[in-house]
Amino acid sequence: MLTFAINILPYVSRDGNYVPALRCIQVYLPSDSNSSSWLRNYYHSIITLFINQFDLSQPLRIEEWLPPRADTILRFLILPVNRCTSRHLAIGMLLVTLMEPPFEKYVVCVITPFICQLIHKGELSLSEVIQSLCEGTISTVISMKQAPLFTHLLAMIVSVSPLESLPLNEKVLLLGYFANLVEHVSRPVTQQRRRSLNSDSDTDDENIETAISTNVGGAPLATIEYYVETATAVLTDCALRKWFVVSAISSEDGVRALSSLCYFLRQNAPEAFLSLLCSLLAHKEFLPRLWQYVVSLNIRAGFGATRSLISVLEQGEYISDSDENALIPPLSLFTALLSNILRTIDDDDLANGGHGSTILPFTLGQIASIATHFRLTLGLIDVAYPVNVSAFPTNVTESPDKRSKWADLFKNVASITKVLYERDSRLHFMSNGFWSSHNRQVVMNTSLWRTGKGRRRTRERPFQFNVASITKVLYERDSRLHFMSNGFWSSHNRQVVMNTSLWRTGKGRRRTRERPFQFVRLLLRENEDNANEEPPTAAELRNISILQSIPFVIPFMHRVQMFTELINQDRRQSGTDNYVHDAYHVVVHRSTLYEDAFWNLSPVKVPDMRRPIRVQMVNWVGLDEAGIDGGGIFREFLAELIQTALDPSRGFFATTHDHLLYPNPLAPFLYPSNFQDHFYFIGRIIAKLIYEGQLAEIRFADFFLAQWLGSSGDSLLDLEYVKSYDPLVYNNLKFLKCCPPEEVDALELDFSVLIDNLGATERVDLKKHGSEVKVTADNRAEYIVLYVNYFLSKRLSPMIASMRAGVRAVLDPDWLRMFSSNEISILIGGIDAEIDFDDLKKFTTIHNIKSDHDRLYADLFWAVINEFSPPNKKKLLKFITGCSRPPLIGFKALTPPMGIQLVHEPDKLPTAATCMNLLKLPVYVDTETLKRKLMLAINSAAGFELS
């Protein structure tokens, strides 16, 4: 009779009477009903009866209150749990039955709230649910497609359960269950990338509401988006987050599980991920444990041997999906944590890492070891574009999810590698030549980088953590601390030869063919709009990816030559290499040099700054200067214009404690109507300076260069930058970072700052509702990061954006992203070193030699100037060429080559034709006269009248 009553329930119509069958079940349900199949059939009948009797509201909504008849039917779901001797088995089979596809909407809208109410009333407990998971039945029955719904159900149960009473072993189990489930729960790749572009890096520590009556985020119910949002809301609850961290520290399984959870949050809820990072950073011992876990992951090789999984990746070899899922989450989490730490420490902390009160848990030697691993991530490019495709399984197919995983991992690695490189450039913890000694040949074809008017534009992306970004962070630190051996960063046994024709110029755009592991295309964001072009090879695409992501593995001078070739090719493509024709003519008064230039070189009058510009100067008394511009006058004008525009007294720029220039944050208040136009103009003229290969004696702050001309998505503004910006602020932040917790509380800080804008005081929140969030020992690292980001980045962002737009009007920003901030400084201002006149002599031609005496006189000239002081040598070079610094790649690159024309009229002063780099040198009777006349000429500062 009992079996009949259970089996008849699914067939009872809405007008039928099901009460007798339920009464029979209530009376005769035995306590020994421990058969899995019997229980599943029972639950299936009860749920089907409920569905047949009641319709869901339209549109769908969470039903907190049920009519008495509906509640009565659902109460029969708990009946076997209360009667069976194996309570855990009954709970487990209930959960399994709920996962059947026809029940999904009812489970979300009705049954899940009902179960949560049972837990709230004490009729069911989270501990019992966890124990039922241990039975193994659920994991063997639930499929990957059912994982999102089950994740949602488990998250809702956790949200209404008291976690304090849960034993530690059950917390570890819960962490593992969530980790296994979320591996199969994710938004479509397009939605993930859209969220990453629109997300705000600021985090919010507000308590997360766990009320089941609300629709988290407003996503439609019973959709993957809804499951993701409810899961992320619960997983970032402060109490649950705390216990997950404790569980992860206690075991290796906990490390693996927490890595998977963090990876899920990183992909689907960046704000929640950052909050979890802050909790992990409070546990100094976790990061070394995580790194040890990453390097301990092994893959089985032949003859029973094993290999480190990360070493397999470094070699660019194929790894299986299971190994990929084991490696990517912990490696991604490690790069994010290390990036955060490196942002809150200075070079002294890095040099003293692993000792004292520093939050960095690694010694300098360990950082060097980490840098070695990350530099070898060139192998990721090999995985993306295997030259030897036969080395990869023939049945490998690549989904969008897989490509997105590899793209994100490569960006992570490349970003941190860049930071390590920049640190190394200051600290020199790696060996000389390390970054480029990789024995990899990268040939770059510049035609792949489009030049001319059709240069591709890239959209700006908010900051993202990357493995590549961690390697960049370590490189940056090593550049200051030098904890890696010399040459370490380039000693990677890979030959990198870049063929510049791969960077498409003119009208053509680069195309690609379909290949395995083509995540690099996600990084390059190419458009296949010209079907007639020959697609680049795998080797060419991997090389351009290296140059865009980790360019420092190529020697600096090689990149300078490549950059020069790109500009020369752009000149030919755009037709701007002819100085005589199509030149703009401008008249500029010396007394109002900046104002005249701002007007005459505006985009309306000079739409293409790449074209030649011929300048007529008007002197201080209103007369045209005698010089005829063949190029030299413009070079002098451009140098003077930049010096005038960047003069702090004009208000566009301010200086740091070390006299380095950066945009004045008060400029919008000094020039409220058109400050953006001025910064756009300054960006254009500096880009013109770079385009012409001219050097200027200016020095910008590194934190400004990293954002302006560097890769905006990868720039990590660490505490070291504050040392130059403001030593007092730097010392205060250092104290806050290291002081005892009670002193942090005594400071009574919150996440807001007071700003003085020319007498008007303004309170600015560093994050949402920041003035209401107190700074504590647990969140002070986040405060330091936000503080540095606001003053060195966010406050300057309007000016930086305008200058970046000005540069983009002349140069493709991607070309400049081949260089670090320090290298860009060299690109603009040259190397402030003593001029090598012996090198200049090799590439100088002497004209108008009439006798042996003239030859001896030429030798005398070189002997005299070699005795000049360094400042006078610079003045002489500027007198001849219009610039006081030599070309980056030596005087062989001086165009046109320097010449000296002997003038047999000893009563004249030396003059120069800067447009031809020509010194007109009279033949004087003795050495003293030669020296005196030269000094008089180079110190006269008489403008172009002498030319």
What is the b/e burial string over 773-789, where b = at least 16 CB atoms within 10 angstroms of the residue's CB? Answer: bebeeebbbbbbbbbbb
* pLDDT attached to residue 491: 63
Per cent of the chain over pLDDT 70 is 77
Q: Choose among 609, 487, 578, 623: nearest CA to 943.
A: 623
Q: Choose among 277, 582, 559: nearest CA to 444.
A: 559
Question: Span 456-481, mean pLDDT?
Answer: 53
Give φ, ψ of 700 to 5 degrees: -100, 155
Residue 691 pLDDT exceeds 70: yes
Q: Strands 306-308 and 298-300: what pairing?
A: antiparallel
* pLDDT attached to residue 899: 93
* pLDDT attached to residue 358: 66
DSSP of 289-327 = HHHHHHHH-EEE-GGG-EEEHHHHHHTT----HHHHHHH
Quote the CA–CA distance of 652 and 656 in Å, as a whole number. 14
* pLDDT attached to residue 208: 24
* Alpha carbon of residue 2 to chain centroid: 64
Lowest mean pLDDT among 295-299, 394-398, 459-463, 911-915: 459-463
- 829 close to 698: Cβ distance less than 8 angstroms: yes
* pLDDT attached to residue 204: 34
* pLDDT attached to residue 211: 30
pTM, two decimal places: 0.69
Per-residue model confidence as pLDDT tens digits over 899-928: 999 999 988 899 988 777 889 999 998 999
Residue 655 pLDDT exceeds 90: yes
Per-residue model confidence as pLDDT tens digits over 53-97: 998 888 888 888 888 988 999 999 988 888 888 888 888 889 888
Residue 831 pLDDT exceeds 70: yes
Q: At 81, which helix (H) or strand (E)?
A: helix 79-83
- 543 close to 499: Cβ distance less than 8 angstroms: yes
Quote the CA–CA distance of 564 and 560 in Å, as a whole number. 6
* pLDDT attached to residue 598: 95
Four-CA torsion 91, 92, 96, 98, nearest 10 degrees: 20
Q: Where are the alpha helices (DSSP H) in 646-765?
A: 667-670, 675-691, 702-708, 720-725, 727-738, 741-747
DSSP of 593-607 = HHHHHHHHTSTTT-S
* pLDDT attached to residue 816: 86
Residue 666 pLDDT exceeds 80: yes
Per-residue model confidence as pLDDT tens digits over 763-793: 999 998 999 999 998 888 889 989 999 999 9
* pLDDT attached to residue 562: 85
Which residue(s) pair with 468 in the sheet?
Answer: 412
Per-residue model confidence as pLDDT tens digits over 9-35: 889 888 889 888 888 988 888 777 667
Report how far apart, in Å, the C-alpha atoms of 39 and of each of 45, 84, 148 are.
10, 10, 23
* pLDDT attached to residue 529: 45
Q: Which residue has the tokens 């370590």?
A: 474
- 367 close to 420: Cβ distance less than 8 angstroms: yes
What are 640's two structure tokens? 């003077």
Question: Span 523-551, mean pLDDT?
Answer: 61
- 342 close to 325: Cβ distance less than 8 angstroms: no
Higher-pLDDT residue of 187, 363: 363
What are 466's two structure tokens? 């990357």
Lowest mean pLDDT among 3-17, 68-82, 508-522, 833-847: 508-522
Residue 40 pLDDT exceeds 90: no
* pLDDT attached to residue 496: 52
How many Cβ atoms are within 10 Å of 389's Cβ, its own excluded?
12
Report how far apart, in Å, the C-alpha atoms of 912 and of each of 258, 421, 857, 897, 938 are.
70, 43, 18, 14, 10
Question: Span 449-455, mean pLDDT?
Answer: 50
Q: Which domains does the chain have, with CATH numbers?
A: 1-142 (no CATH), 146-283 (no CATH), 321-574 (no CATH), 584-708 (3.90.1750.10), 837-946 (3.30.2410.10)
* Structure confidence at residue 212 as a pLDDT band (50, 70, 90): very low
* pLDDT attached to residue 523: 42
Per-residue model confidence as pLDDT tens digits over 714-732: 556 788 889 889 999 999 9
Q: At 847, which helix (H) or strand (E)?
A: strand 845-847
Quote the CA–CA distance of 64 and 512 in Å, as a whole number. 54
Lowest mean pLDDT among 224-238, 462-476, 744-758: 462-476
What are 607's two structure tokens? 């739409």
Distance linking the first and last C-alpha atoms of the chain: 115
Higher-pLDDT residue of 457, 706: 706
**Burial, 164: exposed, middle or buried (Cβ in 10 Å; 0-12, 13-18, 19+)?**
exposed
Strands (E), 431-564: 431-434, 438-440, 443-445, 487-488, 493-495, 498-500
Per-residue model confidence as pLDDT tens digits over 582-626: 788 899 998 899 999 999 999 999 999 998 888 888 888 888 877
For 655, the 3-state DSSP assignment is: strand
Report how far apart, in Å, the C-alpha atoms of 872 and of each of 278, 398, 635, 930, 936 are.
55, 63, 20, 14, 11
What are 503's two structure tokens? 């960077």
Residue 528 pLDDT exceeds 60: no
Q: If you average pLDDT over each of 84-93, 463-472, 489-498, which comes out highest?
A: 84-93
Active site amino acids: 915
Question: Span 640-647, mean pLDDT?
Answer: 93
Residue 203 pLDDT exceeds 50: no
* pLDDT attached to residue 159: 87
Question: Span 492-521, mean pLDDT?
Answer: 44
Q: What average pLDDT does the chain have? A: 79
- 830 close to 695: Cβ distance less than 8 angstroms: yes
* Structure confidence at residue 398 as a pLDDT band (50, 70, 90): low
Per-residue model confidence as pLDDT tens digits over 333-370: 999 999 888 888 888 888 887 665 567 888 888 898 88
- 503 close to 817: Cβ distance less than 8 angstroms: no
Q: Which residue has the tokens 């009866």?
A: 49
Helices 286-296 and 321-343 cross at an angle (nearest 10°) of 150
Residue 437 neighbours by CB under 8 Å, 6+ apart: 487, 488, 489, 490, 491, 492, 493
Q: Choose among 154, 61, 72, 160: nearest CA to 106.
A: 61
For 661, the 3-state DSSP assignment is: strand
- 110 close to 150: Cβ distance less than 8 angstroms: no
Give φ, ψ of 499 to 5 degrees: -95, 110
* pLDDT attached to residue 516: 35
What is the b/e burial string over 858-895, where b = at least 16 CB atoms within 10 angstroms of the residue's CB? Answer: bebbeeebeebeeeebbbbbbbbbbbbbbbbeebeebe
Q: Where are the alpha helices (DSSP H) in 318-398?
A: 321-343, 347-351, 364-375, 379-384
Which residue(s) pair with 599 in the sheet?
Answer: none
What are 758's two structure tokens? 């020319």
* Amino acid identity for residue 207 in this structure: N
Quote the CA–CA distance of 155 and 161 in Å, as a whole number. 10
> What letter does residue 61 receive in the DSSP assignment?
-
8 CB-side CA count, 13 A: 14
Per-residue model confidence as pLDDT tens digits over 113-169: 999 999 888 888 888 888 887 765 555 555 667 788 888 888 898 888 887 778 878
Please report the sign of the dihedral spanned by the C-alpha atoms of residue 208, residue 209, residue 212, residue 218: negative
Give φ, ψ of 522 to 5 degrees: -65, -30
What is the b/e burial string over 570-603, where b = at least 16 CB atoms within 10 angstroms of the residue's CB? Answer: bbebbebeebeeeebebebebeebbebbbebbee
For 493, the 3-state DSSP assignment is: strand
